[in-house]
Structure 1
Amino acid sequence: MSVTPYRRVLEVSDARRILLLGFLIRIPIFSAGVILTLHVVERLGRSYTAAGLVAAGATLAVAASEPLRGRLLDRFGLRKVVLPSLVMTGLCWSVAPFVGYWKLLLLATVGGLFAAPTFSIIRQGVMAAVSIDDRRTALSLDGVILELSYMVGPLVSVWLTTFVSTAYVLFGVEMLSVVGCALLWWQNPSLRAVDTVRLEGVPTVPRRAWFRPGFVAVCGAAAAGTIVLTGSDVSIVAAVQEWNAVAMMGLVLVFWSLGSVIGGLVYGTLSRAISPFALLLGLAMVTAPMALAGGIVRLGALAFVAGLFCAPTVTSTVDAVSRMVPGVARGEALGWHGSFMTAGSAVGAPLAGVAIDHLGFRGGFLSVAALGVVVAGGGWFAMKLRRRFVAQHALAA
């Protein structure tokens, strides 16, 4: 595996800056999801289904707001979009960890409506900093750094819950997330869509020009991939709970993320892209065997294998979307992409939660893996039909 493509990306100072910022901002974001599940199940004494509903409320709210926030990013820039998020999320999460279940559900949902489009901003910043030839490598590197954030955040936060109440840990990670948004507002990295409009005077592109079946299909693959990942996350929590080994959960997550880091690094050096649907199918196929784990060691090993497909699957969908959409509409397009992924998170958590409540953690892994296989097969078939339709009309013309 050649490191030359990564060296080219890291030689760009703007790329280094936005990648480091992305690493710091995502640590508390990834910590919050795991801690929220533990908080609802352990401190509030609710089921995994109930925990999934809280996650679903927050993530569906984020999904509903992301396309609009992406469009606002294209028109008004980062600071005017992020500032309201700083205020509202800070207010909501300063209270939510210390109230009952239903108030937590409400506050988490309101907080989700005002969540900053952090992932979209970081990815736009990464793409703005490099040439189009290095875009997939830069996005792969961002995916790797994302996984490093995932390795650090949950490991530390889960360890903290062995000494401190989940309420205080949840409060801490959410306040760190607010600080991260403030840092993003202060740095105000360049976004390609905004720069294109300002420098070239290009008018806004109508949504109908790019919001086509191919775009929707790729976003659907992104959503399905997130369902698999989120459902696996909840299933891992359930597995270590069943084995009375919550303190070891961070180790499993580290192995999972390590596999994703390796997979992402390899994918970033490939000479050509791989279909998002092929990668989604691979992700689903390697997730299913995690249901066979009988202990921490085996679960960690299987998680490592499953992780090899995590970062490449997400990166392939971001790369595909960025190439389908003109630069002046990229903020909104990535907003829709993020909305699909967030909706996938909303579906994945309760889907796995219901399966876990009825069939144990094994059912959680199998349910989301099965859905991933179905979506990958359907998406591949739909794109094949679309290519055949385009080819026939080209010949007829």
Structure 2
Amino acid sequence: MTGYRQVLALPGMASLLGVSMLARTAITADVMALTMYVVLGLDMSYAAAGGVAAALTAGLALGGPLLGRLIDRRGLRTVLLGTVAVQVVFWLSVPVLPYGTLLGAAFAAGLLMVPAQPVTRQAIAAMTTAGQRRAAFALESVQGELSYMVGPAVVILGAAKMSPDVVAWGVGAAIVVGGVGIAVLNPPLRGEDEAAAGATVRPPRRSWLGHRMIAVLAMGFGTTTLLSGVDLAIVATLEEAGQVSWAAVVVAVFGVTSVAGGLMYGVLPRPFPTWLLLGLLGLVTVPAGLAHDWPWLCVAVIGTGLLTAPTLSAVADAVSRLAPASVRGEATGLQSSAQSAGFALGSPMVGVAIDASVPWPLYTFDGAGEG
């Protein structure tokens, strides 16, 4: 654990990870908050709620490289405070917007979402040495896994105790506080050596967005496509077995093993290639198709969980190495867009497969297709 202590001892690193954790947890919960509001507050269908979620997700996917490019050109604080202002207006307005207007507003809010995740990745690349970077990105991936475990669950519990308006305001407030916190910290996005070497000169896009970067982005897309499909397939398998109430236990095992895998990967003596980790992730997902009840499914998802955070960490590390410092914002934005697109497409793809076949082969399709 020496590597983690060295990373967390870097000036500003622990504060950055803490504040960005708040923002990222709220951002992962925003779709659930809007779903609860549309279903409970507007008394509309889940299909209508899915439309709002799709609009927000589409905005997120398109906004990543746009905001990253603005950060490269205008600076971090300008972009953060601008996106914070948009989020304040959107979340305060949610309870008074009619459904049609909410669709457009959700897209705009996604397009101009506080870029907590890509900023954290940029700062990690700037604040760490080459020897510290893998441990730092492992912590960032673990942070992401924890946010996905905590955020939606808190919203669901809040919706059971409070009105959906209050839940939406709470999510929005957490996003705003996290964005303001990152702006106050104002972490460096370029190392001192990068700035001294002329990192302000912006190279042509074709010089860095080549086949290697595109391959890494494709692997990020494939990873999140697989992962979002696995969550839905878990529910489908257990529903077929009449054990859907145990889905939360299986998902919890999945999340805990992912956190453990990320922490273990960060202390390994040397990294693994991204393509190898993704290939292994696909392979270890295949045996889950043989499990037909929740105890065996818990065992089967351990392998997938152990490789989830390492694969995402390797993608982030590769993007930071392939992108010149002066375009790192745009590159990390592209990475966020690729992964958001994977999360958005994975569940519908598996949903179609669920409707067309029995649930158990879905794992084999998902893992083999992406591995």
Q: Give the shorter-chain TM-score range.
A: 0.7 to 0.9
Distance 2:98 2:218 in 1: 35
Tell me the equivalent position of 2:79.
81
Q: C-alpha displacement at 1:237, in angstroms?
A: 5.8
Q: Deviations over 1:43-89 (max 9, x none)?
A: 63335xx6655444322222222112112212221111122211223
Tell me the equivalent position of 1:205.
203
- Of stretches 282-291 and 342-351 in structure 1, the one that deviates more from structure 2 is 282-291
2:202 counterpart SS class: coil
- Of stretches 360-369 and 305-314 in structure 1, the one that deviates more from structure 2 is 360-369
Tell me the equivalent position of 1:188.
186
Tell me the equivalent position of 2:338.
340
Q: Does 1:46 align with 2:46?
A: yes
Distance 2:152 2:249 in 1: 10
Q: Deviations over 1:5-46 (max 9, x none)?
A: 112212213221212122222111222344555666786333
Q: Deviations over 1:246-305 (max 9, x none)?
A: 6x6654443222111111111112222212122122223333444555555554444443
Tell me the equivalent position of 1:173.
171
- Tell me which amino acid in the other structure corresponds to 1:18: L
Change (3 A) 1:360 1:329: same
Preserved contact between residue 291 and residue 297 of structure 2 (Cα < 8 Å): yes
Q: Deviations over 1:196-237 (max 9, x none)?
A: 448856411221211100110011000111111222334456
Distance 1:187 1:324 in 2: 26
Q: Deviations over 1:176-211 (max 9, x none)?
A: 223222222222222127994488564112212111
1:272 counterpart SS class: coil
- Tell me which amino acid in the other structure corresponds to 2:315: T
- Tell me which amino acid in the other structure corresponds to 1:46: Y
Distance 2:63 2:295 in 1: 40
- Tell me which amino acid in the other structure corresponds to 2:77: R
Change (3 A) 1:138 1:366: same
Q: C-alpha displacement at 1:173, in angstroms?
A: 2.0
Preserved contact between residue 292 and residue 360 of structure 2 (Cα < 8 Å): no
Preserved contact between residue 73 and residue 194 of structure 1 (Cα < 8 Å): no
Change (3 A) 1:241 1:78: farther
Distance 1:103 1:362 in 2: 40
Q: C-alpha displacement at 1:326, in angstroms?
A: 1.9
Q: Does 1:281 align with 2:279?
A: yes
Q: C-alpha displacement at 1:160, in angstroms?
A: 2.9
- Tell me which amino acid in the other structure corresponds to 1:282: L
Distance 1:107 1:269 in 2: 43
Q: How does 1:54-203 map to 2 (within 5 A)?
A: 54-96=52-94, 102-164=100-162, 168-192=166-190, 196-197=194-195, 200=198, 202-203=200-201
Tell me the equivalent position of 1:267.
265
Task: Identify unmatched segments of 5+ residues in structure 1.
Answer: 374-397
Q: C-alpha displacement at 1:138, in angstroms?
A: 0.8
- Tell me which amino acid in the other structure corresponds to 2:258: S
Change (3 A) 1:235 1:108: farther
- Of stretches 217-226 and 66-75 in structure 1, the one that deviates more from structure 2 is 66-75
Distance 2:49 2:29 in 1: 15
Change (3 A) 1:251 1:96: farther
- Residue of structure 1 aligned with 2:313, choices 312, 315, 318: 315
- Tell me which amino acid in the other structure corresponds to 1:312: P
Distance 1:249 1:162 in 2: 19
Change (3 A) 1:98 1:276: farther
Q: Deviations over 1:138-190 (max 9, x none)?
A: 11112122222333223333333343455643443233223222222222222
Distance 2:112 2:82 in 1: 7
- Tell me which amino acid in the other structure corresponds to 1:345: F
Q: Does 1:256 align with 2:254?
A: yes
Q: Deviations over 1:329-377 (max 9, x none)?
A: 211111111221122222223223433455576576555434323xxxx
- Tell me which amino acid in the other structure corresponds to 1:173: V
- Of stretches 87-96 and 177-186 in structure 1, the one that deviates more from structure 2 is 87-96
- Of stretches 173-182 and 92-101 in structure 1, the one that deviates more from structure 2 is 92-101
- Of stretches 146-155 and 6-15 in structure 1, the one that deviates more from structure 2 is 146-155
Pairwise CA RMSD of aligned residues? 3.2
Distance 1:338 1:262 in 2: 23
Q: How does 1:239-254 map to 2 (within 5 A)?
A: 250-254=248-252
Change (3 A) 1:39 1:294: farther
What is the number of equivalent residue pairs in this alignment?
Answer: 368
- Tell me which amino acid in the other structure corresponds to 2:326: V
Preserved contact between residue 57 and residue 107 of structure 2 (Cα < 8 Å): yes
1:285 counterpart SS class: helix
Tell me the equivalent position of 2:325.
327
Change (3 A) 1:303 1:145: same
Tell me the equivalent position of 1:11.
9
- Tell me which amino acid in the other structure corresponds to 1:336: L
